[in-house]
Amino acid sequence: MRPLNLDLDAMRSFVTGVELGSFAKAAPKLARSTSAISAQLKKLEAQVGSPLFKKSGRTLALTDVGEVLLNYARRLLSLNDETIAAVSELKLKGWVRLGIQEDFSGFLPAVLGQFARAHPDVRVEARIARNADLLGRIESGSLDLALVWGNVKEGGYRQRVAELPVQWIGSSHQYLDWRIESGLPLPIIAFDAPCPFHSMATDALTREGIPWLLSFTSSSLNGLSAATEAGLGYSIRTALGLQPGTEILSARERGLPSLPSIDLTLHRREANPDPLTERLSNIIIQAIRSEIVY
């Protein structure tokens, strides 16, 4: 039987449309018409022999086959782009200014180091800061890329990297003697507002009628983790960047309200970045998605 070769252009359109949440938005980015992208998707469905999308209310959602194809398509496109970069005679030069959240300081530097060694004529300047600072720098043009929490609308071109569940986090060895039936306020460890995690936790507690107090604040994630490990209260974060000495808690077992998910969004200074910025963007997105355990 003759082997079937999937169309990489069609898969790029598929992945881009899913990640942007709209194939109409994907069309200008890919320099294609929406009708051309629609034809590509039909070709993909014919190749895999199954629909990729299903109706979900007024929107489209991926079928099981679509979810599987999305995962493989990302890997194939990443390998394709790496191959092109490796054999290209064009040597990348210049610099990229990147802003990241402290949650990723544990594994992203290694990724950036690999990128720098592969492209010695490229300089990557990285800054760790909170949302407001990073977004302000994207808007002012002092950063080319920024990873921020939430699907915020300010500044630049946005791409959702992942949607992550927000978790209650406590010490793994210092038990916090707080019970909902005690009526005592729950001690919260968080950044000062504005902070999306701070707001999610306090809004959820207020809706459930659970009193709370801000027992510890810090300007660094390491400070929040140290206070959590010491049993001074519960903090709120995702599983990414979970620090030693802390653990994810069961909201049901602790009598805590469930928390919503949060988007992780990559902001670019320009809608159509240069090849160097685009290459680094793809590497960062792939690195983060590989760290996520669903």
Do residues 24 and 18 lie in contact, with contact meaning Cβ atoms separated by under 8 Å? no
Answer positive or negative: Cα dihedral of 157, 161, 166, 171. Answer: negative
Q: Is the distance from CB of 235 to CB of 247 less than 8 angstroms?
A: no
Q: Where is average pLDDT lowest: 55-64, 104-113, 154-163?
A: 154-163
Q: Is the pLDDT of residue 150 over 80?
A: yes
CA dihedral of 232, 201, 266, 63, whole degrees rounded to 10: 120
Domains in the chain, please, with CATH? Answer: 8-86 (1.10.10.10), 91-159+263-291 (3.40.190.10), 167-259 (3.40.190.10)
**Percent of the chain with pLDDT strictly greater than 70:** 94
One-letter amino acid at 12 equals R
**Residue pLDDT, tens place only, 221-273:** 889 999 999 999 999 999 887 888 999 999 888 889 999 999 999 998 877 77
Lowest average pLDDT, out of 77-91, 130-144, 247-261, goes to 77-91
pTM for the whole structure:
0.65
Confidence of residue 34 (pLDDT cuts 50, 70, 90): confident
- Name the burial class of residue 21, with classes exposed (0-12), middle (13-18) and buried (19+) by CB atoms within 10 angstroms of its CB: middle
Query: What pLDDT shows up at residue 89?
Result: 43
Q: What is the pLDDT of residues 177-220, one digit of tens each?
A: 777 667 789 999 998 878 889 999 999 999 999 999 999 998 88
Q: Residue 147 has which token pair?
A: 């990873």
Give, in order, the Cα–Cα distances in Å from 104 to each of 107, 129, 260. Answer: 6, 11, 21
| 211 or 25: which leads in pLDDT | 211
